[in-house]
Copies of this chain bind each other. A is one copy, B any other.
Amino acid sequence: HIQKYVTKKLGEDWIFLVLLGLVMALVSWGMDYASAKSLQAYKWMYRELHPNVPLQYLAWVTYPLVLILFAAIFCHLVSPQAVGSGIPELKTIMRGVVLKEYLTLKAFVAKVVGLTAGLGSGMPVGKEGPFVHIASICAAVLSKFMSIFCGVYEQPYYYTDVLTVGCAVGVGCCFGTPLGGVLFSIEVTSTYFAVRNYWRGFFAATFSAFIFRVLAVWNKDAVTITALFRTNFRMDFPFDLQELPAFAVIGICSGFLGAFFVYLNRQVVLCIRRHTALSQFLTKYRLIYPGVITFLIATVTFPPGFGQFMAGELMPREAISSLFDNYTWAKYTGDPQILGKSAAWIHPKVSVFVIILLFFLMKFWMSVIATTMPIPCGGFMPVFVIGAAFGRLIGEIMASLFPNGILFDGIVYKILPGGYAVIGESSCLPFSSPGPIPMTFLVDMMCYFNMTVFSPYSFSTLPGKGAAALTGAVSHTVSTAVICFELTGQISHILPMMVAVILANMVAQSLQPSLYDSIIQVKK
């Protein structure tokens, strides 16, 4: 009889998990599809107006402006709770605080529409944070819907369970990274994680990520259902012990940079709030703030203008995939068109180092202010891009410092031309490139950087919960690192990376709270 009861319960639970996974995969894919089409239209418009620079400029600026303003108005009218990342609020809810209207269907609609518009505008805003919120709403609504058919979903604690699974699914199908999703759901639960949700999260997140990737393959966006930003670096680079000081230095640098990012982000918000007049003015004319920011960012990135010095024409995802390519730009002298999207990084007159550095600096402040706009927007992707740019910069410098490879233990590890040319791909490389070294650094940097921004100390942010969460300090580190691993399909360097990540975190932790916690503090 107990067996029967169990199977019945598991059965119902199973349906809930599959439904949740399916819905979220469809939403995630639909959002990606819509925003990709929007970006395509944006670029097409810009390209069609080619000889006429003023008209091009107008199009380049107006398009994102319209989308961002639409997102801002829509969110304001439908559900103001949809603004921002949503993870800080979720963390708060998971800690037991009741926040009104955060898990309603209205917020769901506002967030989905607003986020799609935001992503489709090409601004440096991320998908992960809002998507976790969306998945949680979906889980909460779905569980209420399911409880019409059976009373199972009204147990105590069930609400937290539902949200936990929602978080896992959100991260899991946002990028197709189930492992990172589950770890994230553990980290978001600040005190005690119910182990039953571990399995449920895995099941739902895997299912969701799978459907999401299958949809992408079916739509010919992607070739495989494996990693999203696939990297294939040389994996036999036996340089780890010697690299340790480098790892440590990079880790510590990332710590400082990450803390600086969080600090800037908070200062922008606080600064506006401190000027009461400005604050009131912006509250009255809600569209001024996002409008000005969008105008500013679009103007700076305008390709024929300053954008040519910072690969301004690349949309966030294009930037990532081009940063991950297997060439060494610093050494490249041929026709840039062969490089495809990466051609944006080569400027006839300016060194590629300067371009990457400018890209890094510009994207840094742009991401900082873009994430303060009153639209649904996350910080994961922008930070991912910044980290990748930083890594690429170091990698390119490395590659020019050691053009003939590196001597280790009597063997010259030559930075080989086309170490593992993408076999059979039509993009067969007509020239040799010392690839691998920049790449390993890239993933590393991206991980460190993401980590330090979204990192630690959740304790003492909410009164009465401090003590229990005390030692949960470096929590947030791991899920972001794992998401990076899953996104790039590389895990062989996990050990040195974890060491550097812990270092980076210690620095960031002693300087600033995590971005999420910073937002919680600001909003309090």
Do A475 and B2 form a contact, CB below 8 Å, given A491-B491, A495-B176? no
Do A495 and B226 form a contact, CB below 8 Å, given A196-B470, A412-B424, A477-B202? yes
Task: Encode contact with B along A402-432: 1 for CB under 8 Å, 0 otherwise.
Answer: 0000000001111010011011111000000
Chain B residues with Cβ under 8 A from A363's Cβ? Answer: none
A210 to B503, alpha carbons, bound, how many Å? Answer: 14
Q: Is A162 an interface residue (CB 8 A)?
A: no
Task: Encode contact with B along A215-233: 1 for CB under 8 Å, 0 otherwise.
Answer: 0010000011111001010
Chain B residues with Cβ under 8 A from A191's Cβ? Answer: 194-196
A466 to B237, alpha carbons, bound, how many Å? Answer: 48
Indicate if the CB atoms of B227 and A474 lie closer than 8 Å: no
Indicate if the CB atoms of B494 and A179 lie closer than 8 Å: yes
Give the oligomeric copy count.
2
Q: Which of the residues B9, B232, B486, B499 comes within 8 Å of A470, measured between beta carbons?
A: B9
A412 to B472, alpha carbons, bound, how many Å? Answer: 51
Do A196 and B494 form a contact, CB below 8 Å, given A240-B224, A240-B226, A412-B424? no
A239 to B468, alpha carbons, bound, how many Å? Answer: 47
Interface 9-residue window, one of A44-52, A130-138, A182-190, A250-258: A182-190
Segment 432-479 of A: residues with Cβ below 8 Å from B? 459-460, 466, 468-475, 477-478
Indicate if the CB atoms of A206 and B495 lie closer than 8 Å: yes
Indicate if the CB atoms of A193 and B190 lie closer than 8 Å: no
Segment 485-524 of A: residues with Cβ below 8 Å from B? 485-486, 489-496, 498-499, 502
A411 to B203, alpha carbons, bound, how many Å? Answer: 34
A179 to B491, alpha carbons, bound, how many Å? Answer: 10
A472 to B179, alpha carbons, bound, how many Å? Answer: 16
| Those 5 A-B pairs whose CB atoms lie nearest each other, nearest first | A489-B492, A491-B491, A196-B471, A223-B238, A206-B498
Task: Encode contact with B along A1-32: 1 for CB under 8 Å, 0 otherwise.
Answer: 01100100110010000000000000000000
Chain B residues with Cβ under 8 A from A494's Cβ? Answer: 178-179, 226-227, 486, 489
A426 to B496, alpha carbons, bound, how many Å? Answer: 25
Q: Is A401 an interface residue (CB 8 A)?
A: no
A86 to B468, alpha carbons, bound, how many Å? Answer: 30
Chain B residues with Cβ under 8 A from A335's Cβ? Answer: none
Chain B residues with Cβ under 8 A from A2's Cβ? Answer: 460, 466
Indicate if the CB atoms of A424 and B420 lie closer than 8 Å: no
